[in-house]
Copies of this chain bind each other. A is one copy, B any other.
């Protein structure tokens, strides 16, 4: 088991990466403070893991809620359902809320934990690759607004993140690929050697080869942990993690959060962000081609969905949290392994990129 540490403003917390952790009773119970536990999960994960997982907390008051699976359910209605369930089971301030699932469950549960009684203990147990390498780390929690993604939320770091690599054995291939998109993002913005390693090991990763997978997860978590440790509240470099995301969020909103997986939207968004980086004179077209090749090799989409018109995408991006008073804001690559914030990008420039 590997242990990483994240320094947040109010507390420091560990990320554990290993095998069999979903059944590691001693480790899990170390983070249950009171005698109440509340597990939030979805229908898919519940079938596979919930009954066994709950036995970790025998002897405690242990309640749970099973939500439908999918980004479309990351909304205020389901957040309210979690709060209502906590209330009806009389969970107190000393309760521990556990997110057992992917990024949707993690974000939604974290936001419920942040708000219930102004904040209760919270454990992240991500079961998808995307959640393990990205969304469970760094304390961002949120739900979507009908008009834009992650518009309502909180910075609320968990007490611990517990990553069980074994959980990936049951993950559909499409979701695995979506996770690789964020791993590639971390390599692109922070570590050229890691990017080259990913290019070289793409086949092993597709085959879920144990050592390669573990290395990819560990390195990805290290990169993200270091960035959010230095910039928890996104005053500076944390914004680099949004590489590809301005485009991605617009695509997800326009397709109703039920067509593209988040990682798939990020893959397309990273291709667009690479093109913008070329357009602004930072990287060469060859770099975009390498990114495109790696994403394709890992079965990720690389071009805009036909249902989204360029005008719709541009309009949607103006809602983005990263839009400033002066114009659109993007993260681009200055070079492989080095990201940069660019501001005041005109809608005309964006149209050009999208038309490529």
Contacts and interface: CB of A to CB of B under 8 A. Distances in A.
Query: Which among A36, A76, A92 has the highest number of chain B CB atoms within 10 Å?
Result: A92
A9 interface: yes
Nearest to A87: B147
Given A87-B147, A145-B83, A155 B92 contact: no
A305 interface: no
Given A115-B153, A325-B92, A76 B80 contact: yes
B140 A118 contact: yes
Contacts of A83: 145, 151-152
A10 B10 CA distance: 9
Contacts of A324: 92-94
Contacts of A145: 83-84, 87
Contacts of A76: 76, 80
Contacts of A154: 114-115, 118-119, 154
Contacts of A322: 93
A151 B116 contact: yes
A36 B142 contact: no
B148 A325 contact: no
Contacts of A10: 9, 233
Interface string A89-106: 010111000000000000
A45 B140 CA distance: 35
Nearest to A88: B147
Contacts of A155: 118-119
A68 interface: no
A170 to B, nearest CB: 32
Contacts of A93: 321-322, 324
A322 B92 CA distance: 8
A97 to B, nearest CB: 14
A347 interface: no
A288 interface: no
Interface in A52-87: 76, 80, 83-84, 87
A226 to B, nearest CB: 21
A117 interface: yes
A340 interface: no
Nearest to A147: B87
Contacts of A9: 9-10
B323 A92 contact: yes
Contacts of A84: 145
A46 to B, nearest CB: 25
Enumerate the 6 nearest inter-chain pairs by beta-carbon distance, A residue then B residue, closest first. A118-B153, A117-B321, A115-B152, A87-B147, A35-B325, A93-B321
Interface of A: 9-10, 34-36, 76, 80, 83-84, 87-88, 90, 92-94, 114-119, 140, 142, 145, 147-148, 150-155, 233, 318-319, 321-325
